[in-house]
Chains A and B, each alone.
Chain A
Amino acid sequence: DSGVTQTPKHLITATGQRVTLRCSPRSGDLSVYWYQQSLDQGLQFLIQYYNGEERAKGNILERFSAQQFPDLHSELNLSSLELGDSALYFCASSATSGSYNEQFFGPGTRLTVL
C-alpha cells in the first residue's frame, strides 16, 4: 500500500459525459501528479500540482482539467468524453517537486467510455 488513495476504482460512462476522479496523496506529500495509461501510449504525464498550485503540464487535453484543494487532495475532471479517453488514470504523490523526489502511485481509476 503506497498510501495514495484514488476513487472510484472503476467508472463506466457514455460519450459526451463528464466525470471527476479523486486522489488523496500520502500524508505530508505536497505534490500530486496525474498520469494516463493506455495500451498503445503507455504511461503519459498529464499535470502536476504542488501545494495547491499548478506546477507543470504534460499531454493534457483542453477537455481535461485538475485542481488541488487546501487539504491537498486533488481532482481530475474529464469532460466531453470520447471513446479514446478510456484508460487507467493514476495519481502519484511526492514530498516535494524537486528532481530527487520519489513518486508513489495510487491504485488507479479505470475509466471506460461507451
Chain B
Amino acid sequence: TQLLEQSPQFLSIQEGENLTVYCNSSSVFSSLQWYRQEPGEGPVLLVTVVTGGEVKKLKRLTFQFGDARKDSSLHITAAQTGDTGLYLCAGARSNSGYALNFGKGTSLLVTP
C-alpha cells in the first residue's frame, strides 16, 4: 500500500516555466522529506519539513508542509534543464521507527 501519492507522475516543461509537484496522504507524518534522484544513483536530500504549515525556500524551490501534516508540495520557479530528475517525497511516522515511506515520484523533464 502506497501511503504517499505523488502527482503528476510525469511532467515535461520548457526552461523558464514554473511547476508544482504534490504529495498527498491520509496519514499524518512526523516529518516529510523531499529528495531528487538521478538514474542509477541514490536519492539526494533536498529539504526536511517538520511543522504543520511550514514553508521552506531553497533558491528557486519552495517546499510547503500542510497544516495537518498529511500533504506537501514542491514549487519550482523558472525551471532550468539542471532541474531534470525524479522528485520523491517521503514521510516518517513514529509507529514505523521513523523509516521513510516514499511516494512513487514525479519524473520531471525540463527542455531548453
Contacts and interface: CB of A to CB of B under 8 A. Distances in A.
B44 interface: yes
A101 B96 contact: no
Contacts of A18: none
Contacts of A2: 42, 44
A58 interface: yes
Contacts of B2: 42
A56 B104 contact: no
Interface in A28-70: 33, 35, 42-45, 48, 55-56, 58
Given A42-B105, A99-B30, A108 B97 contact: no
Contacts of B44: 2, 105
Residue of A4, A45, A103, A106 contacting most chain B CB atoms (<10 Å) = A103
B42 A48 contact: no
Interface of B: 2, 30-31, 33, 35, 40-45, 48, 50, 88, 90, 92, 94, 96-105
Interface of A: 2, 4, 33, 35, 42-45, 48, 55-56, 58, 88, 90, 92, 97-108, 110
Given A2-B42, A105-B44, A108-B41, 12 more contacts: A42-B104, A43-B100, A45-B100, A55-B97, A56-B97, A88-B40, A90-B43, A99-B50, A101-B92, A103-B100, A104-B45, A108-B42
